[in-house]
Amino acid sequence: MSERPGTELGERLPRRSPLARFLMTLPAAAVSFFFSSAPAFADLKICNRMSYVIEAAIGIDDKAATATRGWFRIDPATCRVVVQGTLSADRILLNARALGVYGASPIPQNGRDMLCVAQDNFVIAAARQCRSGQTQAAFTQVTPTQGDDGNLTAYLAEDAEYDDEQARLAGIQRLLVIIGYDVGAIDGVDGPKTQAALAAFLKSRGLSSDAASSPNVFKTMVDATQTPSASGLTWCNDTPHKVMAAIATDDGKSVTSRGWYRIDPGKCLHPDVTGQPKQIFSFAEAIDADNRTIKVKDKPLNWGGEKQLCTRETKFETNEHTDCGTRGFAATGFGAVDMSSGGKTLRFAVP
């Protein structure tokens, strides 16, 4: 499979030279585009005004070289410093993706610069020629604004144009829906449904109402999406490989399939299922660092069934399941999931 929706960067770097602050230790050839003729320092930070917990990667482009580094995890309504100190470069580039718990990344990647990234934390000095374990991703040029303190800020926003308070609430609403609570609309507007769902979630985790305003609330909620649930469908990855999964729901009128959801080794995930579908179908496959299907004894390591539905390698959602190939899709065998007991956990393991 091609690019798919991946991981938090480590601790903030200490103040060193601009090169060391951005890429830690790189060959001397990369130094040319990291310098400042003035002693002043200015941090570059990214602020998230989206209703998704995102991971960002940055690129620094100069005539001599292009370097990338990621992933920086940023919660809704928060900012994160991604470069400390002044740097001189032709362009600053950005790629952002939502966590795998949201399914296929809802953040459009329409940048023109295709640069190399890795699935987990990475530092790539020569980012226009990918090596094993690296894939290309679309980066968009950004022009950060400069504040009164001299620091530079780039903002990530949705069409809804949330302010910080709305983005935070919409982010909580979105995760509550994935966990299985009814909040009504995901709109960043407080109301009785949202309050009831949030109170029920906090109670289920043994947390006080004050936890909703804690800086750790998004980590707590993301963790909750990755543990088996007594209601709804849960996927659990018991393999040493990354697993990509797709879901399909039958509402009695049509079958809608969508994907992909990333499930890391040892993790579980709840795909978001709205309403009460008459049937649910599931397909999943294990892939390697280069997004190629893992094979065991020359057979693809996947978990599906007899129901032929349309999928494609990139993000998709479709309710048309005839002539898959002529529409740029592939016919894939999904397995029916028995939800009669109220909750179902599918565990993916190496046979």
Within a domain: residue 202? yes
Q: For residue range 165-176, list pLDDT tens digits in order.
A: 999 999 999 999
Above 70 in pLDDT, residue 330? yes
Residues 91 and 213 in one domain: no
Within a domain: residue 262? yes
Within a domain: residue 171? no
Range ranked top by mean pLDDT from 91-105, 293-307, 332-346: 293-307
Q: Mean per-residue pLDDT for 182-194?
A: 91
Distance of alpha carbon 52 from alpha carbon 258, whole angstroms = 18
Average per-residue pLDDT in the chain?
A: 82
Q: How confident is the model at residue 89 (pLDDT cuts 50, 70, 90)?
A: confident
Q: For residue range 29-71, list pLDDT tens digits in order.
A: 222 223 233 334 578 899 999 999 999 999 988 877 899 999 9
**pTM of structure:** 0.68
At residue 244, what are phi and psi to the nearest 5 degrees? -110, 135
Distance of alpha carbon 71 from alpha carbon 85, whole angstroms = 19
Query: CA torsion 215→216→219→225, rounded to 10°?
Result: -110
Q: Check: CB of residue 303 under 8 Å from CB of residue 283.
A: yes
Domain interval for residue 308: 232-348
pLDDT for the residue 294: 94
Domain final residue, candidates 124, 157, 190:
157
More confident residue, 140 or 102: 140
Within a domain: residue 195? yes
Within a domain: residue 219? yes
- Three-state helix/strand/coil letters over 142-192: ECCEECCCCCEEEEEECCCCCCHHHHHHHHHHHHHHHHCCCCCCCCCCCCH
pLDDT for the residue 104: 67
Within a domain: residue 321? yes
pLDDT for the residue 230: 67
Above 50 in pLDDT, residue 190? yes
Distance of alpha carbon 239 from alpha carbon 350, whole angstroms = 6
Residues 271 and 344 in one domain: yes
DSSP structure string for 264-302: -TT-EE-----S--SEEEEEEEEE-TTSPBPEETTEE-E
Q: Which value, in Å, is the radius of gyration of the alpha carbons in the chain?
A: 21
Residue 34: CB atoms within 10 Å: 24
Domain final residue, candidates 168, 199, 225:
225
Residues 93 and 146 in one domain: yes
Question: In total, how many domains does the chain have?
Answer: 3
Distance of alpha carbon 256 from alpha carbon 247, whole angstroms = 8
Q: What percent of the chain has pLDDT over 70?
A: 85
Distance of alpha carbon 49 from alpha carbon 185, whole angstroms = 18
DSSP structure string for 305-326: -SEEEEE-SSSEEES--SSTGG
Domain final residue, candidates 98, 127, 157:
157
Within a domain: residue 76? yes
Distance of alpha carbon 306 from alpha carbon 288, whole angstroms = 25
Retrieve residue 252's tokens.
Answer: 């009695």
Residue 331: CB atoms within 10 Å: 13
Q: For residue range 200-251, list pLDDT tens digits in order.
A: 999 888 899 888 888 899 999 998 887 776 667 889 999 999 999 999 999 8
pLDDT for the residue 96: 92
